[in-house]
Amino acid sequence: MSTTVLPSYDEVVERYAPVIGLETHVELGTNTKMFCGCPTDFGGEPNTRVCPVCLGLPGSLPVANKAAIEATIRIGLALNCSIASWSRFARKNYFYPDMPKNFQISQYDEPLCVDGFLDVEVDGEIVRIGIERVHLEEDTGKSLHVGGATGRIQGATESLVDYNRAGIPLVEIVTKPIPGTGAKAPIVARAYVTELRDVLRTLGVSDVRMEEGSLRCDVNTSLSPAGSAEWGTRTETKNVNSLRSVERAVRSEMLRQAAVLDGGGRIVQETRHFHEDSGDTTSGRSKETATDYRYFPEPDLVPLAPDSAWVAELKAALPELPRVHRRRLQQDWGLSDHDMQSVLNAGAVELIEQTVAAGTTPAGARKWWLGELSRRANEAGVELSAVGASPAQVAELQLLVDEGKLNDKLARTVLEAVVAGEGSPREIMAARGLEVVSDTGALTTAVDAAIEANPDIAAKVRDGKVAAAGALVGAVMKSTRGADAKTVRSLILSRLGVEG
Ligand SMILES: [Zn+2]
């Protein structure tokens, strides 16, 4: 096995200019599938949410789902696209076992929405990402390879197919090529997908769960020598299943391509697979071109001609979009641009918003999400939202601190248990007997016990060696667990008749 030494990232961006592009597939949250009445809920016993239309049985005819068309137009409008007054579905012909009809109904040269943009904030600057097109198509089923170690087809003994997903409306959002981002290419890619996800969620058109595949991202990457006017050959990385992976996939593909080019090699146009565990990509199939698909207009469906009055109505009814919403939150929370940027970088906007809604102050919410929880998420290599604490739990924790029932140190201990799945902060406090001992009566008893058990130390302190009191403080802290060290110290000194 040959090993390639990868150049450092800094070297790569000094010598090469990346061009990226993103194709995002979004499963729409309609009640029924794109061309039939089957339900669209995630999961279910395999092959139970199917009918002759989505199984492609002879004689069945598709009927377009109006709710899906409406959702697609709203996405196009939110992305500043022109909405076509005339649009058609097309057959995209290819054979895959998870596609029962042997073709996919998609859109080709007449998509519903074209030529828009999405503004994305990266390090306090706006990067305008051009949107090439937004079109509507249907999802495929799912293949399941069993009997092997990896779940992939290599080494599997059997392959099974589940058509429940086949025919679910899918919107594809394709960016224009994005040049000129240099070293920031990976974070621009991540920022774009994050912003797009937020827009889609705000529109309420999809649950945009990357881990369940309702938002899927393919990342195109190419490198050209710095200063060159010509773009390099691009690869398309598939299976990028989290925001963090979007960033990693671009970065790792830049490093790989640079190593190939440095060695005098040539980049092959192909699809590559991203591996969550190792963070690198491996070669998939060589990339099909449009002519391989033998597109032709779908003869079973009438063209779409959205009425301009309807489009205007949809545009007027768009909700407040995330960038505007965030600006408003920033004002409500009283944050500087820099502080707001930290919140954004941590992916914490919604989490803080929900924590505040659950009854705590913005400052209290921000402290936990940007501090302890961000640190844990980084360590575990997961998104902040997957760190194991919910906004409601964080709000409860901060409330207990505000009420004086937890001090900072105890709160961290409780939070650790929350993240470990031991329950809500109150449940954990009850189960572990954790609470700040602020009741002076109980504290005084503990202090007196510590003095009685350590007469030599007590004598030293009485003689003016105040520093020796530390050992007594330690003993009290140990016996009460939750006491505040400062309070304990002053109590000990006053019981021994010494001025603190
Ligand atoms: Zn069906």
Grade residue 1 by pLDDT with cuts at 50, 70 and 90: very low
Q: What is the mean pLDDT of residues 386-391?
A: 93
Cα separation values, 268 from 17, 271, 359, 496, Å: 18, 9, 54, 81
What is the rounded distance in angstroms from the CA atom of residue 106 to the CA atom of residue 63? Answer: 14
Find the 94 Cα to ligand 1 centroid distance in Å: 20
Find the 357 Cα to ligand 1 centroid distance in Å: 40
Find the 305 Cα to ligand 1 centroid distance in Å: 25
Identify the pLDDT of residue 290.
66
Residues lying with their CB under 5 A of ligand 1, a single-atom ion:
36, 38, 51, 53-54
Identify the pLDDT of residue 46.
94
Find the 211 Cα to ligand 1 centroid distance in Å: 24
Identify the pLDDT of residue 465.
86
Find the 33 Cα to ligand 1 centroid distance in Å: 7
What is the rounded distance in angstroms from the CA atom of residue 334 to the CA atom of residue 396? Answer: 22
Find the 479 Cα to ligand 1 centroid distance in Å: 66
Looking at per-residue pLDDT, the higher value among 300 and 437 belongs to 300
Find the 453 Cα to ligand 1 centroid distance in Å: 78
- What pairing do the DSSP bridges indicate for beta strands 125-138 and 169-175? antiparallel
Q: pLDDT tens for residues 272-281?
A: 989 888 888 8
Q: Which amino acid is at 217?
A: C
Find the 36 Cα to ligand 1 centroid distance in Å: 5
What is the rounded distance in angstroms from the CA atom of residue 428 to the CA atom of residue 414? Answer: 7
Find the 25 Cα to ligand 1 centroid distance in Å: 20
Find the 103 Cα to ligand 1 centroid distance in Å: 15
In which residue are the tokens 């913005």 written?
362
Find the 420 Cα to ligand 1 centroid distance in Å: 42
Grade residue 409 by pLDDT with cuts at 50, 70 and 90: confident
Give percent above pLDDT 90 in the chain. 63
Stated pTM of the model:
0.75
Find the 170 Cα to ligand 1 centroid distance in Å: 15
What is the rounded distance in angstroms from the CA atom of residue 135 to the CA atom of residue 107? Answer: 6
Find the 188 Cα to ligand 1 centroid distance in Å: 38
Position 2 pLDDT exceeds 60: no
Find the 476 Cα to ligand 1 centroid distance in Å: 69
Q: pLDDT tens for residues 302-355?
A: 999 999 999 999 999 999 999 889 989 999 999 998 899 889 888 899 899 999
3-state secondary structure the chain: CCCCCCCCHHHHHHHEEEEEEEEEEEECCCCECCCCCCECCCCCCCCCCCCCCCCCCCCCCCCCCHHHHHHHHHHHHHCCCEECCCECCEEEECCCCCCCCCEEEECCCCCCEEEEEEEEEECCEEEEEEEEEEEEEECCCEEEEECCCCCCCCCCCEEEEECCCCCCEEEEEEECCECCCHHHHHHHHHHHHHHHHHHHHHHCCCCCCCCCCCEEEEEEEEEEECCCCCCCCCEEEEEECCHHHHHHHHHHHHHHHHHHHHCCCCCCCEEEEECCCCCCEEEEEECCCHHHHCCEECCCCCCECCCHHHHHHHHHCCCCCHHHHHHHHHHHHCCCHHHHHHHHHCCCHHHHHHHHHCCCCHHHHHHHHHCHHHHHHHHHCCCHHHCCCCHHHHHHHHHHHHCCCCCHHHHHHHHHHHHCCCCCHHHHHHHHCCCCCCCHHHHHHHHHHHHHHCHHHHHHHHCCCHHHHHHHHHHHHHHHCCCCHHHHHHHHHHHCCCCC
Find the 381 Cα to ligand 1 centroid distance in Å: 39
Q: What is the mean pLDDT of residues 172-176?
A: 98
Grade residue 492 by pLDDT with cuts at 50, 70 and 90: confident
Find the 164 Cα to ligand 1 centroid distance in Å: 8
Find the 93 Cα to ligand 1 centroid distance in Å: 20
Find the 32 Cα to ligand 1 centroid distance in Å: 8
What is the rounded distance in angstroms from the CA atom of residue 144 to the CA atom of residue 152? Answer: 8
Q: What is the mean pLDDT of residues 103-113?
A: 95
Position 239 pLDDT exceeds 80: no
Give percent above pLDDT 70 in the chain. 97
Position 3 pLDDT exceeds 60: no
Average pLDDT value for the chain: 90
Position 449 pLDDT exceeds 50: yes
Find the 390 Cα to ligand 1 centroid distance in Å: 37
- 188 and 20 in contact (C-beta within 8 Å)? yes
What is the rounded distance in angstroms from the CA atom of residue 201 to the CA atom of residue 230? Answer: 37
Find the 200 Cα to ligand 1 centroid distance in Å: 25
Q: pLDDT tens for residues 464-473?
A: 888 888 888 8
Q: pLDDT tens for residues 115-156?
A: 999 999 888 789 999 999 999 999 999 988 888 877 778 888
What is the rounded distance in angstroms from the CA atom of residue 110 to the CA atom of residue 90? Answer: 9
Find the 53 Cα to ligand 1 centroid distance in Å: 5
Nearest to 89 by CA among 72, 73, 111: 111
Find the 50 Cα to ligand 1 centroid distance in Å: 4
Q: What is the mean pLDDT of residues 90-101?
A: 90
Q: What is the mean pLDDT of residues 200-207?
A: 95
Looking at per-residue pLDDT, the higher value among 68 and 240 belongs to 68
Grade residue 477 by pLDDT with cuts at 50, 70 and 90: confident
